[in-house]
Structure 1
Amino acid sequence: MSSFEIGDYMLKVRQAIGISLGSISSSKLRSGLTTLGIIIGIAAVVANISLGESFSVLFEEEINAQGSNFIIVYSQEPNIFYANELEIIEQTPGISGVSPVKPQQGEVTYFSETKNIEIAGVTSDYLNTANISMEEGSFISDQDTFAAAIGSEVADEKFDRNISTRSTIDITFRLQGNRTVTRGFKVKGIIESPGVTVVGGGSIDRDVSIFVPVATINQMLEEDDYEYFFAMADSIDDIGQISDEVDERLARNFGVSSRDLDDEDAKPYRIFDQADILEQTNQLANTLRNFLVAVALISLLVGSIGIMNIMLVTVTERTREIGIMKAVGFSSTDVLVLFIVESIILSLFGGLLGLIVGIGGAYLVTNLLEMPFRYPHYVFEIGILVALIVGVAAGVYPANKAAKLAPVDALRHE
């Protein structure tokens, strides 16, 4: 193609854009209704991709807030974890800390007001393994006996009077034989809220819980077992290998053969780590995102059908105009380009508005749900590309129909 032909072709495209913009502006209501479907469809796609990313970040933040490189080992049978199992995990290479955990429902009394609250027996290692930060005071130590660290909601919302450090609370447990045991605990510190909802098995909602020495809770309950262990690996990169080593050592302890290590039913316990939960939640987030995008694509399909319908109506309305264009020298290709360009302009305009609406909608939803707001930069490319594809796809058939109109028949059309 010569330079003259290229320039001539570009002139036709510029003419097509100018004529298309004039046609769109002269029928504002029709054009607005045409782009509405695309706006809704693109906005739904963009918003749902953004929400999917936000959910993924939320899950990851929640998991990371529950501990540093954590490994959780919990029992499937009663009374199987004791000091011996705690020692096995402590001596596993790569384990930098481990706390036995024993949750128990208790009755907490403060200034003659009693509430049912979860009491968790732990050791001082739980401070680091569970990524706990203190709002006030300090966490319990292994030398403490009747000391407690309480969640922020327990301190500020559970009772009519706020609980502060150095306050004394009474904790009552119910034992077998309809017996009860009550002890007074000095509040050493108030735990800072992690600001996320707890996810992941074995975690304790620290906002509404009270932590006491596990030895003390066992003494009060007249028991010496633990419910599960919350351990911390040296590195997130090696957490899988360290978790496997803990699994092998515990399996030998319980007489489980090496060939049954992968058989969860053969072991009286379950073990999982932070990487396992992150993988599961990422799969959940991806599934959720794909579902939301699939639903949004249906809206987009409806919008593209709307554009096609409007363009078909436009062809009928402008039949005489098409006849005049052909009579004065416009070719079938010119008419084809004209209608495709008009369809693309409508789609791109709707796509740009859809991007704005979609990102704005995702921002509002994440703020309402108190989620982190995230959107991948590729949503802009996706939005424009999808709008372009929709414009071409929806405009080809009406444009081809217009291009095939015979000039004489078009001029006779009433």
Structure 2
Amino acid sequence: MIPLLSAGKIALGSITNAKMRSTLTVLGIVIGVAAVIANVSLGASFNQHFTNEVTNIGSNFIYVQGMQPKLFYDNQLQIIENTPGILGVSPLKSQTAEVTYMSETKNIMVSGVGEDYDEVAKTQLSEGSFINDNDRYVAIIGYNIANEKFGRNLSVRSSIDITFRIGENDKVTQTFKVKGIIQNPLNTMVQGFNDNEAVLIPIAVMNEMLGETDYGGAFAMAEDPATIQNTSDEVDRRLARSFGISERDLEDKDSRPYMTINQAEILEQTDMMAAALSSFLTAVALISLLVGSIGIMNIMLVSVTERTREIGVLKSLGFTGSDILFLFMIESILLGVFGGIIGGIVGITGAYGVESFLSLPVVFPLSLIVAGFVVAVAVGFISGVYPARKAAKMKPVDSLRYE
């Protein structure tokens, strides 16, 4: 058997002597490997994005929303707060209102919340402080409200007028002082609004202005993510009993005048979405790899035909069929290595560009890069097997006569 180093030198010589053929072969591997790395990375990035979005909603949150008006009061809030496994709870009530700043009026979602809302919903402020139960006419505003919604930027201590519509013809207006500005946008999957686009005020003040005493729902925090589903189920059972729903009707969600959803359920849903998207992207990448492999094999077969006389010369010099097979396999593997390196760089660069453009988390597991390189070498090896065997079986006399 020809030594590995000698075989590598001969294979490199063949590659450099046929630059166009080698480039086309490497290009097929580059496209396939780059597609695999980029698409799988994008799938992992979307998965991380969905997870981050759900985590941003709150810390081990359980959200309860009334499906009817005048449903949740202090009694229901107390039931949720006294459920084992609940660390904190905030009432939540939302309504579109007219918000006026410097004579400019916009229709914005205004939400009444309690002082625990910032903890259970993980509300981070860029400046100022959050609402407490002793506050009256103060507001927390989202970043976009402060910096983009109006012609002039708002800051802490700015004053805004909030006008709620009561009934068909009546309105009530109060002036609120900005107490804090939210730093980051939060997820909209649960609450139906984006805190980054919202105005938060004390819920007691909101009810006072509306002449009401009920809440739209509650936002609670469970103490342990491992038991959040059990805690959520217990909240559900206790609320159902308070509304007179029997045990046998608990499984029927349509029998309840409210809905509950928790972080674990949303994570499960987003994991399914991410898995489906990742599977689709991986399938597209594998198709690209398959097409590239077929192209590589065709080019290698053409190479065998073009190099028939060369094979005859090698055999006349004493190279055996095994040596010829080995030479062609080394050449295929080297092309796979070159294609893997370039394809990895192209795939990582492309995925990074797309992820940055879409503001997604940049995810490049080391295992992904290693897998892409291994796939490239494997593609080169497998695609070169049949052409190499064909070259090895050629008879020296027939090869030397070939024109």
TM-score, normalised to structure 2's length?
0.95
What's the offset of the Cα at 1:238?
A: 2.4
The equivalences for 1:49-68 within 5 A come to 49-68=40-59
Contact 1:106/1:119, CA 8 A, preserved across alignment: yes
Residue 229 (structure 1) aligns with: 218
Deviates more, 1:293-302 or 1:156-165: 156-165
- Aligned to 2:387, what secondary structure does the other structure show? helix
Residue 18 (structure 2) aligns with: 27
The equivalences for 1:360-399 within 5 A come to 360-399=349-388
Does residue 251 in structure 1 map to residue 233 in structure 2? no
What's the offset of the Cα at 1:226?
A: 2.0
Change (3 A) 1:216 1:359: same
1:369-408 Cα shifts (integer Å, max 9, x gaps): 2222111111122112211221122111111211222222
Contact 1:12/1:334, CA 8 A, preserved across alignment: no
What's the offset of the Cα at 1:361?
A: 1.5
C-alpha separation in 1, matches of 2:232 and 2:157 = 39
What's the offset of the Cα at 1:83?
A: 2.0
Structure 2 residue identity aligned to 1:134: L
The equivalences for 1:91-110 within 5 A come to 91-110=82-101
Does residue 413 in structure 1 map to residue 402 in structure 2? yes
Residue 344 (structure 1) aligns with: 333
Does residue 129 in structure 1 map to residue 120 in structure 2? yes
Deviates more, 1:344-353 or 1:259-268: 259-268
Contact 1:175/1:221, CA 8 A, preserved across alignment: yes
Structure 2 residue identity aligned to 1:379: L
1:25-71 Cα shifts (integer Å, max 9, x gaps): 11112111111111111011111222222222222222222211111
C-alpha separation in 1, matches of 2:296 and 2:383 = 6
Contact 2:139/2:176, CA 8 A, preserved across alignment: yes
Structure 2 residue identity aligned to 1:66: I
Structure 2 residue identity aligned to 1:358: G
Contact 2:321/2:392, CA 8 A, preserved across alignment: yes
C-alpha separation in 2, matches of 1:203 and 1:69 = 18
Deviates more, 1:308-317 or 1:269-278: 269-278
Residue 271 (structure 1) aligns with: 260
Residue 314 (structure 2) aligns with: 325
C-alpha separation in 2, matches of 1:384 and 1:109 = 59
Residue 283 (structure 1) aligns with: 272
Aligned counterpart for 2:64 among listed residues 47, 70, 73: 73
Contact 2:188/2:194, CA 8 A, preserved across alignment: no
Q: Which runs of 5+ in 2 are unaligned?
A: none
Residue 168 (structure 1) aligns with: 159
1:176-214 Cα shifts (integer Å, max 9, x gaps): 2222221111222222224xx624322641221100111
Change (3 A) 1:134 1:200: same
What's the offset of the Cα at 1:172?
A: 1.0
Structure 2 residue identity aligned to 1:86: L
Structure 2 residue identity aligned to 1:81: F
Moved over 6 A (4+): none
Aligned counterpart for 1:90 among listed residues 81, 84, 92: 81
Structure 2 residue identity aligned to 1:25: T
Contact 1:90/1:98, CA 8 A, preserved across alignment: yes
Contact 1:66/1:203, CA 8 A, preserved across alignment: no
1:205-236 Cα shifts (integer Å, max 9, x gaps): 12211001112222222333222211011222
What's the offset of the Cα at 1:317?
A: 0.5
Structure 2 residue identity aligned to 1:31: S
C-alpha separation in 1, matches of 2:22 and 2:144 = 54
- Aligned to 2:168, what secondary structure does the other structure show? helix
Aligned counterpart for 1:40 among listed residues 23, 27, 31: 31
C-alpha separation in 1, matches of 2:168 and 2:45 = 50
C-alpha separation in 1, matches of 2:310 and 2:176 = 89
Structure 2 residue identity aligned to 1:166: R
C-alpha separation in 1, matches of 2:331 and 2:256 = 67
What's the offset of the Cα at 1:253?
A: 1.6
Contact 1:307/1:343, CA 8 A, preserved across alignment: no
Determine what percentage of the aligned residue pairs are the same residue: 55
C-alpha separation in 2, matches of 1:133 and 1:315 = 66
Contact 2:120/2:221, CA 8 A, preserved across alignment: yes
C-alpha separation in 1, matches of 2:354 and 2:10 = 40
Contact 1:38/1:304, CA 8 A, preserved across alignment: yes
C-alpha separation in 2, matches of 1:25 and 1:356 = 22
C-alpha separation in 1, matches of 2:17 and 2:251 = 70
Residue 15 (structure 1) aligns with: 6
Q: How many residues align?
A: 403
C-alpha separation in 2, matches of 1:399 and 1:232 = 64
TM-score, normalised to structure 1's length?
0.93
